[in-house]
């Protein structure tokens, strides 16, 4: 249990998020993978705060803020997705191709 | 012991923070048709803009409020840019609540709309006055999240919702990148505060730092629509309501570039020269791709999207220069860019209220309404950077800043790209001036406000250029 | 007082535009009157100032502008961020070019009084164009210079595309974009000039006193020279001018070919060669090779063309090639000849395009094979055209001969092999010039008159006035060239000093 | 009494004033006034010239050069200054008198000739422009001035040939004349530039006192070759002569002169016989010492002249258009003058006989050839065609004209005591003294030919039965205004020979030279008798063929049933056709087409390709913008990697 492991964990989490983002065709699924990526960052913060940083509170504080901010971001995202759903009657990103060159 | 008395230099910020609540609050007590919130909004924005002008441009570190809310010269000037953008965006949006445009139904809840704009603007304020990563991050989010909402404002428009979806999905990913970058930066320096980060960066560099830089640039590259993170922009610009597009293209860009300026000339200033290749590459590729994309467009807003992508590339050029030059150049350019862009959007708006927002519907404009055609030509030539219009001087500042550290090749490339840019701006002017109208033209009605704003902006575009007061004042602000 | 007058040269056109903004477009007559008056006033001012400069010649000029002998020198702070100041002044060279511009603008305004379309905008654009050209010839601050230099693009496209004929959009775009391409090259090098020279301002004279590093000059000079040469249609950047001219309305062709194309050559002389003489000495002997196209092949291409404006465009290309021959010779006579050619060709091509425009207004075609014998119907215009032609083929008595012979003699003084060859070819190619000019004149004016042209009328008073004035200018320079060469020599001397002293360190 | 300088100005000013006044003010509206004014002014000019000549020759100052005035035109570097001045020496004074006199006569003549023409005003204006330019050329003090007026002469000739611009033939003839002379002039200009560069001066005085030795050491880079300046001078002299080559229509640049006969006849008489075409000869005479030191130049000049002489004479024997016959005879006479100048060189020494003879022939030839043209003009005016077919029997109708014609023809045939005899005799003598026996023989032969074709013309036009309705009906009469100058001109045609010979022998020497001259030369007394004998024989042949009772005029006149060689000659050796072939195929079809193709396809093609390429790149960008969200998200990831690897980060 040292810093490197935590960083690797976070990085893997981030990678999984990216992977999910690429693979998923379902909007909600994509939102969740984004959540994963954000939380990977959180883990970074916490682990740095725990191991190295000389003001440890800052990192923790930051991650809490991040959670809050992410929450409202997701809220808006869901709201938008709902309006989306009203139009398209589906949550498949492949449907979102009306706007293009 | 810090005192919590509110010093007058953050009065505008405080006002801007409480004022959207006021506007939205009033709306609860009046009828939907009432003009009160609108008037309030006008008064408030204008008041804030004037208050900002009373803040003396402090030199050096600027003044602090509880040690991590900094108001320095760059901050104040940036605030003014943002306020100008917000004000113009609000004026532009008014008509879209009265009747629809570009085959979209009219929008609703103007008060909330204005409130959202105000919040976004406040986000910008926060970014420029941040002294630590946390405030910084919060500012960026405050600036971004209302934009998502704004993009989807027109609930009855399917394009709007699609645009918003794309926007928010990619925006969140970008936020994730940023956050990741922040976390590494924090890990590298062990602190959130800019001064300590700067000290750490100065003391020595490590892979952590560079991963952080990479992720930060990629994250902000999304908001600044740099290559290859610009992909959302054309779709969102086209899908979102026109006033939102305008606000996006100015406010969010201004915020993003402010973010970069604060980073590059703040915590990361010791390694600016090492970042130079990255910045130069980003700038060059972005403006090239932006110009190429705009070549064969037929829809106005999408066209403007590409042009604004190219503009972002031009702005990046300035980041290569020393602090004062770069800051002056960027602020001045943002002023000019805001004015020219809004001028274009006002004209498009007037067209859009009666026809589709395409090149087609510009045809015969010069015959039908010469003054409007002239305004359009002025804004286009200004964006293309043709003297004596302001755009040229803006670009000149940027290139000057870039060249002052000897990046002649990049500057030459950027200037060469101006030819391509001129080509597609001429395409638009051709549509308005040369092409004969096909069939019957629906008459264009200009409200008094629209006419006044257009005249005002046209004069501004013409004068801000060779009448040197703006550029000189900004520069004086940084020099003294 | 004179200084104020001098500065008013470029301000007056702007004021005219402002004045006309307030007048609704329906009062076309009032607008026309205002523009004609302002153009005439500017012409008067410029002529007076030219006389003043000539009268003052020999007396010590403004010390602030040394080594250049500048009159009416003005230096006002402008953009503080990069120390760009508003610096204007006049020596013989640019005063004469200003006079040329004033004449051509005046003629252009008179010629296009009955142009179709929105006259208010058209005349405003002409005045803007005039402003930019005046500014270029006046300014001695590089930023100011470039601002004025680039302004032309704004007006040119609109004027050509909205008021032109034929492939107007194509021609306009081609012209504007090619010029923009050239000026982008210039801008890129301007920054280099400023930072490499370590000067504290963009003042041309100050930069000329610094010594630029050789390696910088070596890449900057060709870039800047070609950048300027684009607008003087030096091969291979000549392609814009035939299409542009043929698409443009008369007045614009006159201005474009008459004065705008000189701005490039002027820039080459005043900025590129003056600031980077060392590189000039190395590069120019090779630049000469490009002139084989301009000077030798240009006339041949003109022979093959049927469209009057194309023919004239290619003749302009060949004549401007001679300017570069004079410049590349880098001898005092060569430089003087080049400057003479700038002025003479300005009047000459102005007259050409003016008459062509008037004839086109009547015959509605520019194809010489369709015309014939119209000399009988419009002797005045015909004679005007023939005189322009004679001036063009360098007939003694007209300014063209003076300029060309000066260039030939000056270029022959330059002992580099390539220059010699090109000079000899250029001298021999006066025949081809004669061929296309006579062929055009004969096809168009002589021979039997087609039935459809029986009802043609000769030029009205203002058209005759324009022709008479331009011809008078050509003759005046051609018959007494002494004073003008004297004026030019004074202003060229410092430039030649710089060039001749270059390459020694 | 007016002093000579004022006279000098006046001589030049009168024609100029005429040109300006007639051109700008009188013009076509009042042609009558224009004509009168022109005649008066030219008369005054002639008077002035005569006075000047009298002053000059009567003064003991005589054979030397004097410069009446010399104004700076354009100063070039150092001594290289272009001046406009007035040089007075026997040659220029003689030319002044000739030019002013001829133009005076021709102006009088034109009153009658152009009576019906509505553009007469323009005609008189241009005529005066020509005489002004010619006078300026004659009095030139330096090469630059020479070139200036040289060009002006050329352009006024162009304008006058194409005077009837509605006649396509006239227009094309004028164009051809101008372009051919212009072609020669381009070499002339090159020669001027080269010589002035080497010598550093334009003045004739300097050029005529050069010696090549000074220049053998220095070298000059002519691009492809580097040669000593002395050779450069030789080259320059040949280039300068090329100018005269074209202007004097020497073979092969001769073809413009016969075609130039499309112009009004007075024009032909003044420009294309008497004055302008001798400008080339004049140029060589003026620069004679210079040519003399450039060793091969004179030989070239001689052969060019000699060949043209024979060539033109042969063609003249077959033509039927009287003006063309005269044109070819002019060519052949110019050949005489030219080769006389060239024949002066004997090895390394020079005998100036030829020079004197040549200038003398310029003098005499001017009168009789001019009058012959004027006569031709009045015949044409009466008969209405140039063709000998339509003439004949005019002698009885036009007595005075008949007499004058006879005088002039005897003069040109070199029958004593008519003027031609003296000059031509001296020319042939020069050839003999120069030991150029081939040329000498050719000259004798040609003088025979000359007599033959001139009398052929004479007999066919004036003798025999009338072949023209007008003549038969007797509408033919003599116009006073036209006959007067003819009559006046007959006097010098008759007398100028023996009258002027002493003057020429006393005064006319080319000036001091840097190479030895032979002073004493054996004067072959038998020569005149031979020449006259040949002439008489030719006369008899002509009489037998065309005027004798047993002459078959009709058969003589139709060229259809003739041998091939006759046809070839009749068609002027097909030189016009060759000229057009060269111009059309080589210039227009060849170089010009290639040049334009290069421009239109290569340059424009490259441009088009660039534009196309940029647009393709644009399409690429737009292709990426397919609106497909996963792709967009992918770009985010790709971007990070992209800048990781290309961002040059020190990772």
**D626 in contact with B at a CB cutoff of 8 Å?**
no
Q: Could you give the count of Cα atoms lying within 13 Å of B159 in the half-sphere of its Cβ?
A: 20
Residue of A4, A21, A32, A45 best to disrupt the B interface, most CBs of B under 10 A: A45
- pLDDT per position as a tens digit, B421-440: 999 999 999 999 998 887 77
Distance (Å) from the C-alpha of residue B300 to the closest C-alpha of chain D? 15
Tell me if D631 and B231 make a contact (CB, 8 A cut-off): yes
- Count CB pairs under 8 A between chains B and D: 86
| H or E element at residue B63 | strand B63-65
In this complex, the residue of D618, D640, D646 whose CB is nearest that of residue B293 is D618
Q: Does the beta carbon of D640 lie under 8 angstroms from any beta carbon of chain A?
A: no
Q: What does the pLDDT read at residue B16?
A: 93
pLDDT tens for D19-75 read: 999 988 877 778 888 999 999 999 999 999 999 999 998 888 777 888 999 999 999
**Is C402's CB within 8 Å of D604's CB?**
no
Q: Which residue of B has its CA nearest to A31?
A: B169
D75, C482: Cβ pair inside 8 Å? yes
D148, D182, D192, D219: best to mutate for the C interface, most C CBs within 10 A: D182
β D66-75/D81-88 pair status: antiparallel
Neighbors of chain A by Cβ distance (3+ pairs < 8 Å): B, D
Nearest chain D residue (CA) to B294: D618
| Residue A2 buriedness (CB in 10 A; 0-12 / 13-18 / 19+) | exposed
- The region that residue B361 occupies, defined by phi over 0 for left and psi between -120 and 50 for alpha, beta otherwise, is alpha
Query: In this structure, is residue D114 part of a structural domain?
Result: no
> CB distance from A37 to chain D under 8 Å?
no
Query: Taking CA atoms, what residue in B is nearest to C143?
Result: B396
> What are the tokens at C431?
């025949």
Strand locations in D41-175, DSSP E?
66-75, 81-88
Residues D649, B210: C-beta atoms closer than 8 Å? yes
- Strand extents, DSSP E, C65-142: 71-79, 84-90
Are B293 and D622 a contacting pair at CB < 8 A?
A: yes
Give the residue from B317, B331, B336, B388 with the most C CB atoms within 10 Å of its CB, the best one to mutate.
B388
Hey, are the CB atoms on B165 and A81 less than 8 Å from each other? yes
Residue of C nearest to B423 (CA): C177
| Mean pLDDT score of chain D | 89
Search chain D and give the residue with CA nearest B209: D651
Mutate to test the interface with C, among D185, D223, D243, D598 (most CBs of C within 10 A): D223
Question: Residue D471 corresponds to which tokens in the numbers above?
Answer: 């003549």
Return the partners of chain B (3 or more C-beta pairs < 8 Å).
A, C, D
Task: Report the pLDDT averaged over residues D367-379.
Answer: 93
Band (D323; pLDDT cuts 50, 70, 90): very high
Using the predicted structure, report yes or no on whether residue D351 has a pLDDT greater than 60: yes
CA dihedral C209, C213, C216, C221 (to 10 degrees): 40
Confidence check: pLDDT of D387 > 80: yes
In chain D, what is the greatest distance between 2 CA atoms, to the nearest angstrom? 120
Reply yes or no on whether the pLDDT at B310 is more than 70. Answer: yes
Residue A44 within any structural domain of the chain: yes
Inter-chain CB pairs, B–C, below 8 Å: 99
Q: Is B168 in contact with A37 (Cβ distance < 8 A)?
A: no
Closest-CA distance, B127 to chain D, in angstroms, reads 23
Cα angle, residue C404 at apex, residues C402 and C410 outer, rounded to 5°: 100
Q: Does residue D323 form part of some domain?
A: no
C-alpha distances out from residue B388 to B396, B411, D557, Å: 11, 20, 80
Give me D32's structure tokens: 């009558």
Task: Identify which of C486, C466, C404, C501 has the alpha carbon closest to the alpha carbon of residue C109.
Answer: C466
Q: How far is CA C80 from the centre of its chain?
A: 32
**Is residue D523 very low, low, confident or very high in pLDDT (cuts 50, 70, 90)?**
confident
Q: Can you tell me the mean pLDDT for D625-630? A: 88
- Per-residue pLDDT of D526-560, as tens digits, reads 888 999 999 999 999 999 988 888 777 777 777 77
pLDDT given for residue B3 in this prediction: 57
Which residue range(s) make up the domain with A27? Answer: 1-93
Q: Do A69 and B133 touch (CB under 8 A)?
A: no
Q: Which residue of D has its CA nearest to A93?
A: D629
How far apart are the C-alpha atoms of B261 and B259, rounded to whole Å?
A: 6
CB contact under 8 A, A25 and D630: yes
Q: ipTM of the predicted structure?
A: 0.93
A93 touches chain D (CB under 8 A): yes
Would you call D627 and A18 a contact, using CB atoms and an 8 Å cutoff? no
In angstroms, rounded to a whole number, what is the distance separating the alpha carbons of residues B369 and B367? 6
- For chains A and C, having 3+ Cβ pairs within 8 Å is answered no
Chain C residues touching residue B466 (CB < 8 angstroms): 147
pTM for the model stands at: 0.94
Contacts of D among chains (3+ CB pairs under 8 A): A, B, C
How many domains are there within chain C?
1
DSSP structure class, residue D200: S
pLDDT of residue D520: 60
- Residue of C82, C157, C181 with shortest CB distance to B426: C157
pLDDT digits (tens, 9 = 90+) for B25-80: 998 888 878 888 899 899 999 999 999 888 877 656 678 887 788 888 899 999 99
Q: Which pair of structure tokens corresponds to residue C440?
A: 């055009």
Mean pLDDT of the region B13-18: 92
Q: Which residue of A has its CA nearest to D633?
A: A22
* D324-346 mean pLDDT: 92
Residues of B in contact with A69 (CB under 8 A): 137-138, 141, 145
Whether D632 and B218 lie within 8 Å, measured CB to CB:
no
**Residue A96 in contact with partner chain D when CB distance is under 8 A:** yes
Given a contact cutoff of 8 angstroms between Cβ atoms, the answer to whether D372 and D322 are in contact is: no
Distance from CA of D311 to the nearest CA of C (A): 27
The total of structural domains in chain A comes to 1
Closest residue in chain D to residue B239, using alpha carbons only: D627
Which whole-number Å values give the CA distances from A4 to A9, A44, C93, C444, in the listed order? Answer: 8, 10, 74, 89
Identify the pLDDT of residue B59.
56
Q: Do B239 and A41 touch (CB under 8 A)?
A: no
Distance in angstroms (rounded) separating the CA atoms of residues B53 and B51: 5
A 10 A CB-CB count for C480 gives: 12
Q: D626 lies in which domain range?
A: 579-646
Residue A33 has pLDDT above 80, yes or no: yes
Please give the structure tokens belonging to residue D185: 């002039």
Six-digit token string for B423: 């080509």
The answer to whether the CB of A1 falls within 8 A of the CB of B143 is no
| D72 at C interface, C-beta within 8 A | yes
Q: Using CB atoms, pick whichever of C168, C176, C191 lies closest to residue B403.
A: C191
Closest CA relative to residue C484, chosen from C273, C339, C325: C339
Give the integer Cα–Cα distance in Å for D331 and D280. Answer: 12
- Taking a contact as any Cβ pair under 8 Å apart, which residues of chain D between 191 and 220 contact chain C? 193-194, 196-197
Q: How far is CA B3 from CA A84, B12, B61, B75, in A?
A: 48, 19, 19, 22
Q: Is C164 left (phi over 0), alpha (psi -120 to 50) or beta?
A: beta
For residue B1, what pLDDT band results from cuts at 50, 70 and 90?
Answer: very low
Instruction: Give yes or no for D630 touching A (CB within 8 A).
Output: yes
Number of structural domains chain D divides into:
1
Query: Which domain CATH number covers A53?
Result: 1.10.287.3510
| Beta bridge partner(s), residue D203 | D142
Of C375, C406, C431, the CB nearest to D179: C431
**Across chain B, what does the average pLDDT equal?**
91
Strands D345-346 and C84-90, by their bridges, are: unpaired
For residues B340 and B305, give the distance between their C-alpha atoms in angstroms, rounded to a whole number.
14
Looking at residue C154, its pLDDT comes to 83
- Put simply, the answer to whether D629 touches B289 (Cβ < 8 Å) is no
Give, for all 505 residues of chain C, the pLDDT tens digit: 899 999 999 999 999 999 988 888 888 899 999 999 999 999 999 999 999 999 998 888 888 888 888 999 999 999 888 889 999 999 999 999 999 999 999 999 999 998 888 899 999 999 999 999 999 999 999 999 999 999 988 889 999 999 998 899 999 999 999 999 999 999 999 999 999 998 889 999 999 999 899 999 999 999 999 999 999 999 889 999 999 999 999 999 999 999 999 999 999 999 999 999 999 999 999 999 999 999 999 999 999 999 999 999 999 999 999 999 999 999 999 999 999 999 999 999 999 999 999 999 998 889 998 888 888 888 899 999 999 999 999 999 999 999 999 999 999 999 889 999 999 999 999 999 999 999 999 988 888 888 888 888 888 999 999 999 999 999 999 999 989 999 999 899 999 999 988 865 4
C-alpha–C-alpha distance, residues C491 and C503, integer Å: 22
Neighbour count for residue D586 (Cβ, 10 Å): 11
Chains that touch C (3 or more CB pairs under 8 A): B, D
Question: What does the pLDDT read at residue A93?
Answer: 87
The whole-number pLDDT of residue D598 equals: 94
Contacts of C481 (CB under 8 A, 6+ apart): C340, C399, C402, D73, D74
Closest CA to C395 of C323, C456, C462, C471: C471
Higher per-residue pLDDT: B65 or B272:
B272
Q: What kind and span of H or E run contains C126?
A: helix C119-138
Position D519 scores a pLDDT of 63
Cis peptide leading into residue C56 (ω within 30°): no
Q: What is the residue-wise DSSP string for D602-613? A: IIHHHHHHHHHH
The reply to whether residue C428 touches residue D186, judged by beta carbons under 8 angstroms, is yes
* Digit-coded pLDDT (tens) for B437-470: 877 778 888 889 999 999 999 999 999 988 888 8
**Which of B400, B422, B430 is the closest to C177 by Cβ?**
B422
Q: How many residues does chain C have?
A: 505
Structure tokens at D393: 């029997």
CB-based contact A22 D630, cutoff 8 Å: yes
- Count how many Cα atoms sit within 13 Å of the Cα of residue D524 in the half-sphere of its side chain: 19
Q: How far is CA A18 from the centre of its chain?
A: 9
Per-residue confidence (pLDDT) for residue A100, from 0 to 100: 85
Q: How many CB pairs under 8 A join A and D?
A: 26
In angstroms, rounded to a whole number, what is the distance separating the alpha carbons of residues C258 and C266? 13
Helix (H) or strand (E) holding D219: strand D219-221
Contacts of A17 in chain D (CB under 8 A): none
Residue B340 has pLDDT above 70, yes or no: yes
Which of D622, D624, D626, D630 is most worth mutating to test chain B (most B CB atoms within 10 A of its CB)? D622
């Amino acid at each position: 249990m040292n810093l490197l492991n935590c960083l690797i964990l976070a990085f893997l989490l981030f990678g999984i998020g990216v992977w999910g983002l690429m693979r998923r065709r379902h909007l909600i699924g994509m939102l969740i993978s984004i959540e994963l990526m954000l939380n990977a960052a959180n883990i970074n913060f916490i682990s740095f705060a725990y191991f190295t940083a000389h003001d440890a509170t800052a990192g923790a504080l930051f991650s809490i803020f991040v959670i809050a901010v992410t929450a409202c971001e997701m809220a808006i995202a869901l709201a938008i997705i709902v309006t989306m759903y009203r139009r398209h009657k589906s949550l498949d990103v492949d449907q979102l191709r009306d706007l293009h060159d | 012991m810090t005192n919590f008395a509110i010093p007058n230099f953050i009065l505008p910020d405080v006002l801007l923070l409480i004022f959207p609540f006021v506007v939205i609050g009033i709306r609860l007590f009046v009828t939907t048709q009432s003009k009160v919130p609108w008037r309030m909004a006008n008064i408030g924005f204008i008041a804030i803009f004037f208050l900002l002008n009373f803040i003396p441009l402090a030199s050096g570190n600027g003044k602090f409020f509880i040690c991590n809310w900094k108001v320095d010269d760059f901050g104040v000037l940036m605030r003014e840019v943002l306020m100008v953008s917000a004000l113009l965006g609000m004026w532009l949006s008014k008509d879209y609540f009265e009747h629809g445009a570009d085959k979209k139904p009219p929008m609703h809840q103007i008060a909330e709309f204005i409130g959202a704009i105000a919040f976004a603007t406040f986000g910008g304020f926060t970014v420029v006055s941040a002294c630590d990563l946390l405030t910084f991050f919060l500012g960026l989010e405050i600036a971004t999240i209302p934009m998502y909402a704004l993009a989807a404002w027109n609930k009855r428009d399917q394009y709007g919702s699609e645009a918003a979806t794309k926007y928010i999905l990619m925006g969140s990913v970008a936020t994730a990148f940023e956050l990741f970058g922040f976390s590494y930066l924090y890990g590298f320096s062990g602190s959130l505060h800019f001064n300590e980060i700067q000290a750490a960066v100065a003391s020595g560099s490590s892979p952590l730092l560079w991963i952080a830089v990479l992720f930060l640039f990629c994250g902000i590259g999304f908001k600044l629509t740099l290559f290859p993170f610009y992909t959302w922009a054309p779709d969102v610009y086209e899908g979102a309501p026109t006033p939102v597009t305008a606000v996006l293209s100015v406010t969010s860009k201004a915020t993003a570039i402010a973010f970069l300026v604060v980073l590059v000339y703040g915590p990361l200033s010791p390694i600016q020269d090492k970042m130079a290749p990255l910045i130069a590459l980003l700038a060059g590729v972005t403006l090239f791709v932006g110009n190429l994309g705009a070549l064969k467009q037929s829809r106005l807003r999408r066209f403007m999207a590409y042009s604004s992508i190219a503009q972002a590339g031009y702005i990046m050029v300035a980041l290569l220069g020393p602090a004062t030059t770069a800051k002056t150049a960027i602020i001045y350019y943002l002023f000019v860019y805001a004015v020219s862009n809004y001028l274009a959007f006002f004209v498009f708006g007037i067209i859009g209220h009666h026809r589709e927002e395409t090149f087609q519907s510009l045809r015969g404009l010069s015959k039908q309404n010469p003054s409007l055609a002239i305004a359009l030509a002025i804004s286009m030539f200004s964006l293309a950077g043709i003297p004596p219009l302001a755009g040229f001087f803006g670009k000149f500042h940027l290139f000057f800043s870039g060249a002052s550290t000897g990046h002649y090749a990049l500057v030459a490339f950027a200037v060469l790209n101006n030819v391509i840019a001129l080509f597609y701006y001429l395409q638009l002017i051709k549509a308005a001036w040369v092409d004969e109208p096909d069939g019957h033209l629906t008459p264009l009605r200009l409200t008094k406000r629209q006419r006044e704003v257009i005249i005002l902006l046209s004069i501004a575009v013409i004068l801000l250029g060779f009448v040197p007061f703006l550029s000189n004042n900004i520069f004086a602000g940084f020099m003294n | 007082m004179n200084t104020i007058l001098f500065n008013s040269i470029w301000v007056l056109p702007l004021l005219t535009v402002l004045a006309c903004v307030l007048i609704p477009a329906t009062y076309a007559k009032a607008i026309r009157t205002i523009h004609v008056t302002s153009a005439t006033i500017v012409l008067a001012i410029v002529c007076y100032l030219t006389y003043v400069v000539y009268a003052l010649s020999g007396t010590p000029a403004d010390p602030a502008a040394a080594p250049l002998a500048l009159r009416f020198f003005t230096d006002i702070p402008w953009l503080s961020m990069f120390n760009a100041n508003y610096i204007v002044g006049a020596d013989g060279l640019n005063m004469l070019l200003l006079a040329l511009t004033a004449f051509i603008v005046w003629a252009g305004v008179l010629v296009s009084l009955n142009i179709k379309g929105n006259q208010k905008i058209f005349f405003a654009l002409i005045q803007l164009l005039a402003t930019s050209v005046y500014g270029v010839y006046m300014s001695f601050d590089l930023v100011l210079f470039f601002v004025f230099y680039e302004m032309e693009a704004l007006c040119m496209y609109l004027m050509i595309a909205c008021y032109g004929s034929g492939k107007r959009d194509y021609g306009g775009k081609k012209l504007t974009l090619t010029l923009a391409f050239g000026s982008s090259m210039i801008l890129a090098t301007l920054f280099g000039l400023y930072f490499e020279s370590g000067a504290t301002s963009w003042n041309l004279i100050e930069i000329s006193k610094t010594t630029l590093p050789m390696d910088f000059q070596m890449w900057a000079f060709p870039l800047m020279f070609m950048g300027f040469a684009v607008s003087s249609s030096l091969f291979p950047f000549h392609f814009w001018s035939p299409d542009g001219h043929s698409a443009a309305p008369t007045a614009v062709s006159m201005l474009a070919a008459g004065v705008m194309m000189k701005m490039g050559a002027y820039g080459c002389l005043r900025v590129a060669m003056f600031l980077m003489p060392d590189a000039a000495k190395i590069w120019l002997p090779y630049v000469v090779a490009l002139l084989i196209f301009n000077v030798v092949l240009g006339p041949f291409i003109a022979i093959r063309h049927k469209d009057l404006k194309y023919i004239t465009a290619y003749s302009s290309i060949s004549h401007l090639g001679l300017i570069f021959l004079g410049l590349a010779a880098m001898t005092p006579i060569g430089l003087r000849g080049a400057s003479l050619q700038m002025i003479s060709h300005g009047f000459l091509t102005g007259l050409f395009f003016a008459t062509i425009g008037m004839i086109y207004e009547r015959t509605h075609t520019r194809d010489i094979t369709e015309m014939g014998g119209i000399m009988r119907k419009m002797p005045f215009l015909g004679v005007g055209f023939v005189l322009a032609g004679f001036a063009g083929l360098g007939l003694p008595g007209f300014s063209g001969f003076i300029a060309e012979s000066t260039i030939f003699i000056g270029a022959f003084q330059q002992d580099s092999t390539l220059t010699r060859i090109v000079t000899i070819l250029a001298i021999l190619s006066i025949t081809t010039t004669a061929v296309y000019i006579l062929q055009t004149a004969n096809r168009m004016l002589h021979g039997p008159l087609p039935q459809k042209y029986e009802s043609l009328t000769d030029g009205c008073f203002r058209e005759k006035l324009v022709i008479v004035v331009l011809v008078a200018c050509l003759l005046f320079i051609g018959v007494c060239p002494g004073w003008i060469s004297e004026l030019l020599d004074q202003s060229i001397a410092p430039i030649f000093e710089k060039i001749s002293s270059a390459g020694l360190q | 009494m007016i002093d000579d300088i004022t006279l000098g100005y006046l001589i030049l000013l009168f024609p100029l004033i005429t040109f300006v006044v007639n051109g700008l003010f009188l013009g076509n509206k009042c042609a009558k006034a224009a004509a009168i004014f022109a005649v008066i002014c030219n008369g005054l000019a002639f008077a002035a010239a005569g006075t000047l000549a009298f002053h000059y020759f009567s003064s003991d100052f005589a054979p030397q050069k004097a410069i009446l005035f010399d104004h700076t035109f354009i100063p070039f570097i150092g001594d290289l200054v272009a001046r406009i001045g007035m040089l007075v020496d026997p040659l220029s004074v003689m030319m002044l008198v000739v030019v002013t006199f001829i133009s005076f006569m021709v102006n009088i003549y034109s009153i009658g000739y152009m009576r019906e023409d509505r553009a007469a005003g323009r005609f008189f204006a241009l005529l005066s422009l020509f005489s002004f330019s010619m006078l300026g050329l004659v009095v030139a003090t330096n090469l630059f001035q020479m070139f200036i007026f040289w060009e002006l002469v050329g352009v006024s000739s162009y304008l006058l040939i194409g005077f009837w611009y509605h006649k396509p033939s006239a227009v094309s003839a004028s164009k051809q004349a101008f372009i051919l002379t212009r072609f020669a002039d381009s070499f002339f200009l090159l020669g001027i530039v080269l010589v002035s560069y080497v010598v550093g001066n334009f003045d004739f005085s300097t050029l005529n006192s050069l010696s090549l030795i000074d220049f053998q050491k220095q070298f000059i880079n002519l691009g492809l070759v580097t040669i000593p300046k002395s050779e450069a001078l030789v080259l320059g002299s040949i280039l300068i002569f090329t100018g005269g080559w074209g202007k004097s229509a020497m073979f092969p640049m001769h073809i413009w002169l016969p075609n130039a006969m499309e112009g009004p006849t007075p024009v032909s008489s003044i420009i294309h016989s008497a004055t302008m075409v001798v400008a080339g000869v004049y140029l060589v005479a003026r620069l004679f010492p210079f040519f003399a030191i450039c060793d091969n130049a004179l030989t070239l000049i001689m052969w060019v002249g000699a060949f043209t002489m024979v060539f033109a004479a042969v063609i003249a024997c077959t033509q039927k258009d009287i003006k063309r016959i005269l044109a070819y005879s002019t060519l052949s006479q110019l050949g005489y003058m030219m080769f006389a100048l060239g024949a002066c060189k004997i090895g390394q020494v020079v005998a100036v006989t030829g020079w004197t003879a040549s200038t003398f022939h310029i003098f005499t030839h001017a009168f009789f050839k001019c009058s012959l043209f004027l006569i031709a003009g009045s015949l044409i005016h009466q008969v209405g065609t140039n063709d000998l077919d339509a003439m004949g029997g005019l002698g009885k109708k036009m007595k005075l004209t008949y007499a004058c014609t006879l005088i002039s023809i005897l003069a040109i045939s070199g029958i004593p005591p008519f003027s031609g005899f003296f000059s031509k005799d001296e020319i042939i003598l020069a050839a003999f003294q120069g030991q150029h026996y081939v040329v000498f023989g050719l000259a004798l032969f040609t003088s025979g030919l000359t007599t033959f074709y001139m009398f052929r013309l004479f007999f066919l036009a004036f003798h025999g039965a009338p072949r023209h309705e007008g003549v038969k009906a007797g509408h033919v009469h003599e116009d006073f205004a036209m006959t007067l100058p003819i009559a006046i001109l007959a006097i010098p045609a008759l007398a100028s020979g023996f009258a002027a010979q002493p003057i020429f022998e006393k005064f006319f020497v080319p000036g001091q030279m840097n190479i030895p001259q032979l002073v004493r030369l054996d004067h072959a007394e038998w020569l005149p008798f031979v020449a006259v004998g040949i002439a008489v024989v030719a006369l008899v042949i002509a009489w037998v063929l065309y005027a004798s009772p047993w002459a078959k005029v009709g058969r003589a006149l139709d060229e259809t049933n003739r041998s091939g060689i006759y046809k070839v000659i009749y068609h002027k050796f097909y030189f016009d056709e060759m000229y057009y072939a060269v111009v059309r195929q080589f210039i227009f079809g060849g170089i010009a087409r290639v040049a334009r193709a290069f421009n239109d396809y290569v340059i424009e093609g490259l441009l088009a390709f660039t534009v196309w390429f940029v647009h393709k790149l644009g399409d690429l960008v737009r292709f990426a913008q397919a609106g497909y969200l996963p792709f967009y998200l992918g770009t985010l990831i790709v971007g990070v990697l992209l800048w990781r690897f290309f961002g040059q980060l020190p990772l």
